[in-house]
Each structure stands twice: as structure tokens, then as C-alpha cells.
Amino acid sequence: MKIIGPIAGIGSRLRPFTLSKPKAFINIAGKTVLDHILTRFVNTFDSETELILIVGYKKRQIINYINENYSDKFKLTFIEQIPRGYKDNVPYYWGLGEAVHLAHKRFKKKDFESREDDKREGSLIFLGDMIILDEYSYVMYRYHESDVDGIITVMKVPKEEASSYGVVITDENNIIAKLVEKPKTFVSDLAIAGIYAFSHSATLTLFDKIKKYLDQRTENSKEIYMTQSLQDLVDSGFKIAAIELKKGILDFGRPSEVLKGNKFLLEHQTMNEDYLKPNISVERSFIKNPNYIGNHTKIINSVIGPHCSIGEDCVIENSIIEGCVIENYAELRNVISENSIIGSYVIIENISKDNLIIGDKSIY
């Protein structure tokens, strides 16, 4: 099986935080979002698995980091998604559909003796701003043990929020009959949860369905989403099941979701005593756990937490912070803040304000 990760987007909803880094590189609970995702893959797939990353925005950062940290864990392939255009010198792209289609170069047409062989040679697609909380072994078990050609993970959402998601309508056996992208009227509370697994045959057909829409593009076309191509796949006779996640997902596409996800990960990881490590300096301060505090960080005369994720080599002095994500090399002095996201190399002094979002290398 090949793993496909479309991570070319700029994360516009997280600007200015993503002006200098891909959204998958946000640090929470001691790791980037992408690290949290790939660590789960490492626990499920062997080192012979091909990881195909579709890169674009800040591609060099991603390629260098992945080569340095994962070259012994996967067979790595990088494919660039070319920008559709630029706005204020920031690229924008044709969307998820094109990104997934770019992976077709790594799949060759084959004949299989059984459906099981077809499924073993298939694809798993993940999104770079979502972390599923269920084990991938559970997802892959449902994929391999079900008499289907593929699965799409789903989660139940409140009826009033369903219009914000792509949703699926299923039969009594959880086989998908219809997919609807952000329906204006309520049709289902089963929202697509961002993990897809398809047999080799279904994957090739999906590529063909996406290409049909790519070939119809004009300069005025909207982004190419994948929902209609998935509907075409279902209409072609492929049996695709909706697999409801037991624990759900963490979505990091918006600032509020970053803070919510950070809180969840801190509460469910055993790192409450990290601030006692010898390379962290805590002087005349109160640490209310759970928190994550990076190496070589100094905390002086401050109150920290709960639910703070603080990077490496930071200085926090005479401050009170709670529920914040703070990147590496940040300096906060005389700051009172809650629910803020602070970038790397940021200097903030003499301020009391909540819900800050400050990009890298800023002085505030």
C-alpha cells in the first residue's frame, strides 16, 4: 500500500502564523502536526511503505525535514503541486483533487488474482491538518476485513454543523450511496473525516474521475474538490464503506482548532513532569499541568498553564499564560495572555491580551 499526503496548501485560515511555515509544521505538545500524523503511520506500516507527499508551499522546508527525520521509516517520494497563481506573492493551488491526482505517477496498471491482493496494493490518503485519534491499525483492519473496494472515515457531527462538512449518505450496511460537499439543507450527520483507503483498482479509477474535472478547468473555475470524483467512483460500481471513527479527529485548520487540539493532546500524553528536566530552568514560578515545555527554555517569576505548549529556547518572565501555543525561541516578558498562538523568534513585552495570533519573527 502507498500512503498519499497532500500537504501543498498555505493554511490561509492560520495566517499570519503560516506566512513562514507550512500549516503542518505547527508545533503542539512537543511535535509538529505532521510528526503526530507520521508517528501513527510508523506504528502501523513498515519501512518498505512508500510515502508520497504532494508538496507546494514551503516545499523545501518540508522536503528537508522529512528526509532528515523519516528516510529510514518510509520510502519517500515528493511530487510538487504547481501553483495556480499568486496573490500578494503567496501561491494558491487547484485544491485537493489535483493534489491527489498528482500521485497517479506512482501507480501502474496491474492485474490481480484476488480482491485481497488488489487491496494490499492500494492507497491510503490522509490530510495534513487532521490527526485521527483512533489507531490506524483499527482503520486498516476495517479496510482489509470488509468486503469492499475502499473505505472513507466519517464522524458524527451536530445537525446544525453538517453544512460545514462534506457528508455521506449510506445504506443499512454502511455502504456509501451519495456524497455531498457542504450541503445547504440537512441530508446526513456523517461528516467525512479525512482518511481514505482504496484498492489499487479503485485508486486508478479515482485518478481517472479526477482527471475528467481537471481537463474541464478554465481560468474562472473553482478549486477542484474530490467529493464529486468520489461520487463518480461510487456510481461506477465500486463498493465504498463509511467507517465511523470511535474517537474522532483533531482538526488543525483554524486557530480555535489548533488550541483545542493542543489541549486534547496535552491531556492525553504523559508529559506532565517535563518541566523538571535538567535542561529547563524554572525560577520562582508556578507550573499548572498539563503542559509541554521544550528544551533550554527559561521560566522566571511566572505562572504557566494549564494547556501550554512551549517550544525550545524560549524565555518567559514575569508573565501569566494559559492555553497557549508558543513556538521556539520566543521571548515573553510582562505578558498576560490566554488562548494565543505565538510564532518562533517572537518578542512580546508589556501586554495583557487574549487570543493573539502572532507570526514568526515579530515584535509586539
The CATH number covering residue 49 comes to: 3.90.550.10
How sure is the predictor about 271, in pLDDT bands with cuts at 50, 70 and 90? Answer: very low
On whether both 106 and 220 belong to a single domain, the answer is: yes
**Is 263 a domain residue?**
no
210 phi and psi, to 5 degrees? Answer: -65, -40
- Is residue 279 included in any domain, yes or no? yes
Instruction: Return d(Cα 151, Cα 153) in angstroms, integer.
Output: 6
Candidates 234, 177, 233, 178; CA nearest to 210 is 233
Q: What is the pLDDT of residues 206-250, one digit of tens each?
A: 999 999 999 999 888 888 889 999 999 999 999 999 999 988 888
CATH of the domain at 351: 2.160.10.10
Contact yes or no for 92/83 (Cβ under 8 A): yes
Tell me, yes or no, whether 204 and 338 share the same domain: no
pLDDT of residue 129: 86
Strand 150-156, strand 190-198: pairing: antiparallel
The whole-number pLDDT of residue 272 equals 46
Mean pLDDT lowest among 69-73, 82-86, 294-298, 306-310: 82-86
Same domain, 296 and 322: yes
Q: Are residues 65 and 119 in the same domain?
A: yes
The reported pLDDT for the residue numbered 240 is: 97
Q: Which amino acid is at 47?
A: S
The pTM of the full predicted model, rounded to 2 decimals, is 0.90
Q: In the numeric block, which cell numbers belong to residue 87?
A: 496573490
CA dihedral 300→303→309→314, nearest 10 degrees, is -20
**Residues 225 and 327 placed together within one structural domain of the fold:** no
- 289 and 245, same structural domain? no
* pLDDT of 314 over the 90 cut: yes
Give the cell for residue 299.
Answer: 521560566
Query: Does residue 363 fall inside a structural domain?
Result: no
* 219 and 328, same domain (yes or no): no
61 and 100 assigned to the same domain? yes
- For 65-79, 136-150, 334-348, which range has the lowest pLDDT when averaged over its residues? 136-150
Mean pLDDT, rounded, of the chain: 91
Query: Does one domain contain both 276 and 238?
Result: no
pLDDT tens digit sequence for 8-40: 988 777 888 778 888 888 888 889 999 999 998
What pLDDT, in 10s, does the model give residues 41-98? 998 899 999 999 999 999 999 999 999 999 999 999 999 999 988 887 788 888 899 9
Q: Minimum mean pLDDT among 55-64, 100-109, 243-252, 271-280: which range?
A: 271-280
Q: Give SS3 for 80.
A: strand
101 found inside a domain: yes
Helix axes 59-70, 33-42, angle to 10 degrees: 40
Instruction: Look at residue 260 and tell me if it is in a domain.
Output: no
Distances (CA, A) of 101 to 118, 145, 212, 315: 19, 27, 11, 45
Give me the domain span that covers residue 292: 270-358
Residues 175 and 50 in one domain: yes
> Could you give the CA distance from residue 282 to residue 303 in angstroms, rounded to a whole number?
10
Residue 291 inside a domain? The answer is yes
Same domain, 153 and 35: yes
C-alpha pair distances (Å), 211 with each of 96, 98, 107: 12, 8, 15
- 346: which 3 cell numbers? 517572537
pLDDT tens profile 175-202: 999 999 889 999 999 999 989 999 999 9
In a domain, 259, yes or no: no
**Which of 201, 220, 253 represents a domain boundary (last residue)?**
253
Evaluate if residue 171 carries a pLDDT over 80: yes
Phi, psi (deg, nearest 5) at residue 130: -130, 135
Residue that is last in its domain, among 253, 282, 309: 253
pLDDT score of 252: 87
**Which contacts qualify for 344-350: CB closer than 8 Å, 24 or more apart?**
344/20, 344/311
Amino acid at 91: P
- Residue 136 is predicted with a pLDDT of 85
In a domain, 122, yes or no: yes
Q: Are 285 and 300 in contact (CB under 8 A)?
A: yes
How many structural domains is the chain composed of? 2
pLDDT surpasses 80 at 274: no
Residue 197 sits in the same domain as residue 240: yes
SS3 188: coil
